[in-house]
Structure 1
């Protein structure tokens, strides 16, 4: 018999052993999970502190953060989560901030970002938009670390909202729905500039279209913003709003500020804060967004007005 045969059989057996070992180590693998780690113990839920957060970067997109603090004595990995509230429909994963496995070590904090569901509003404009029973969150966690974790476990935990984010979003959503039932508000596709009394000013056009068969909606005030300073005061009122009966409002303004940093990082300054009544009932402020082309016009105007190099 060839002297190579025993050696070949030994190498084959060794390779098979390595394959079996690797298979045994990764059995049940699902994006980093390993079956030899058990599910999360049920008592861990009591040691998780969950808080609702919302930054100014996410405000316009109705995105909130489910922030989880691990007060247990066990390292975890945070895999996802949802917000459960009687005031909103099911929350959803956001395309901009998808769920990613994050190590949630003992004493650590991590967050899951979700988009709020459809608001549950009162039947009429005179009803108060009130947040329902105590909201809670379903967070998906596992034992281990981000790269090697056990089977996912969904835990139902209470969620606090010290910043009142749910109430604010609900009020805005329901006010927007009430106003939209009688008016369609749209910022124009361009911001034009003109000279008035030796000063270079800009003008926003706001289209006001009545909804056939809808309630009586009247605009009572439009505020300025962190970028926009209405000419003649801090808001457009009375005579400046007379054009709403003809379907078009012309809103002249100058820049609110000229510092590069604040303008570059601003996330809300292009929204027009509109105050209105629906059938005589005052509503929470409604924010009307600016189209992208108009945003470019606005920033070019600010750069020119502020004499940026």
Structure 2
């Protein structure tokens, strides 16, 4: 069960408290419901949106909120999208963004994680308008998560923790290029440094991404992963596509999707980021490979 904690005690980033407005009545608060959403561009930052719907007969403003669960610590306001005073009119919907707290992973390395059946969040709302509203009131509202976003984030976080307990994975700071069978390919490195006293971690597969494909297609597996025994994998790649917007709008294509077993138990995919210098090398390689002007 997801139980949210109170977060805001004063007025949010909005207008002054209006003297003619009181706190939010219970019968109004009871007509608020929320939906948890997460866009793909927010996966890496572990940011989720809490969208609140107002089915009462009273106009409100939405000032912010907080999310907490048995599986995650207290959520926090994001610096890139801070809380704003949003009109939450009768029949309307408005949302706010929070970064998930630290995951609370189950003991052992089973590769399985649970999820809460009942979700709750606290939201801070007030009666009135953005420029003239009453005292901020923190209320608890039910939350639906039909997309399973919390369960996915929990699985990813716990897999990352399990893998990191046995090996430190990092992409190298640069890419090199070489000619193979009449084609220029790029080669990136992935270091896999064992953690002293940690579990046995074996990389079983590394997928391509929206930007890069393993040479020959499919995924890196088998002989392509033999280098992990020495702690360094060299992965030859070509661009997945050559359209400009694939690079200009990309948010996840430089992350390596790594599948691994921890003490023989398969884990959820772990995404290993690429350093900025290597990103520059990659983008230059794609531009040359695709013959961009």
TM-score of the pair, normalised by structure 1: 0.88
Asked if 1:302 corresponds to 2:286, the answer is yes
- 2:156 alignment partner, SS class: helix
1:98 alignment partner in structure 2: 82
Equivalences for 1:196-211 in 2 at 5 Å? 196-211=180-195
- 2:204 counterpart residue number: 220
Match of 1:253 among 223, 228, 237: 237
Q: In structure 1, what is the Cα distance between the partners aligned to 2:42 and 2:155? A: 17
Give how far 1:46 is off.
2.2
Aligned to 1:62: 46
Q: Distance in 1 between matches of 2:291 and 2:140?
A: 55
Alpha-carbon contact 2:15-2:133 (below 8 Å) kept: no
**Is 1:113 aligned to residue 97 of structure 2?**
yes
**1:158 equivalenced with 2:142 (yes/no):** yes
Higher helix share: 1
Cross-structure match for 1:289: 273
Deviation at 1:49, TM superposition (A): 2.1
75-84 or 33-42, which deviates more? 33-42
Q: Which of the two has higher C-alpha Rg?
A: 1
Displacement after TM superposition at 1:127 (Å) = 5.2
CA distance in 1, matches of 2:174, 2:28: 54
Displacement of 1:256 = 0.3
Identify the residue that residue 131 of structure 2 maps to in structure 1: 147
Query: In structure 1, what is the Cα distance between the partners aligned to 2:233 and 2:104?
Result: 31
The match for 2:20 is 36
- Aligned residue among 112, 116, 126 for 1:132: 116
Q: Which moved more, 1:141-150 or 1:204-213?
A: 141-150
Range 248-257 or range 259-268, more displaced: 259-268
Q: Cα distance, 1:142 vs. partner?
A: 0.3
Contact map agreement 2:111 2:266 (CA 8 A) in 1: no
Contact 1:187 1:290 in 2 (8 A): yes
| 2: CA distance, partners of 1:105 / 1:306 | 50
* Structure 2 partner of 1:184: 168
Question: How many matched pairs?
Answer: 280
TM-score (norm 2): 0.93
The answer to whether the Cα contact below 8 Å between 1:83 and 1:135 also exists between their aligned partners in 2 is no
Q: Tell whether the 8 Å contact from 1:38 to 1:151 is kept in structure 2 after alignment.
A: yes
Residue in structure 2 matching 1:235, options 219, 228, 239: 219
Question: 1:132: Cα distance to partner?
Answer: 3.0
